[in-house]
A and B are shown apart, each in its own frame.
Chain A
């Protein structure tokens, strides 16, 4: 089955700097890659996702890149702000009939220092 590895486990950056989180996956059948942000004591919220037919996607300060050949994808946050502090999870999933079975990475705790 699919296995997703996420690095780093913790990341601390100065406010205004950029943050990069990387994930690798094992199953070449995976073709949907979402990124979730989880604040303390809450459920994860989708912040951006990318499909396998796209190499890069951007939404304001957040961007995701995908390299299907190397089986890795990355989250880039530019001009970081204190409210970006949270735990971020990557996930991968094949597209199947019916439910979508996401496999999550272990998470990255991002701290933005003022």
Chain B
């Protein structure tokens, strides 16, 4: 069966510090991978998605970047965090079949607080 992991679970960082959040998926190959941000009491906003190694699409211009160094690894980064980067970050995956209505499976999330 497939599983998705995110770490760390919680993170408190000062403004201006770098960020690296990691997401890995097990039990599948060539998945589509997604990063979402959820502000307190709000819906999910798609930040990045990837259909393959090294292929990253950005949905919202911002202070963050994403990378996919391996097939089942997705990393969210920032060089200098802003207060507005605080939120609940969720990684998700779906089967990599084109043109399909595949369910997106979400990880447990990372709660980031920037002080």
Contact = CB atoms under 8 A, between A and B. Distances in A.
Interface of A: 4, 6, 32, 34, 36, 41-46, 49, 51, 89, 91, 95-107
Contacts of B99: 95-97
B109 A99 contact: no
A43 B98 contact: no
A79 B103 CA distance: 26
5 contacts: A96-B99, A99-B32, A100-B32, A104-B45, A105-B43
Contacts of A96: 99
B94 A44 contact: no
Interface string B96-115: 00111111111111010000
Nearest to A4: B43
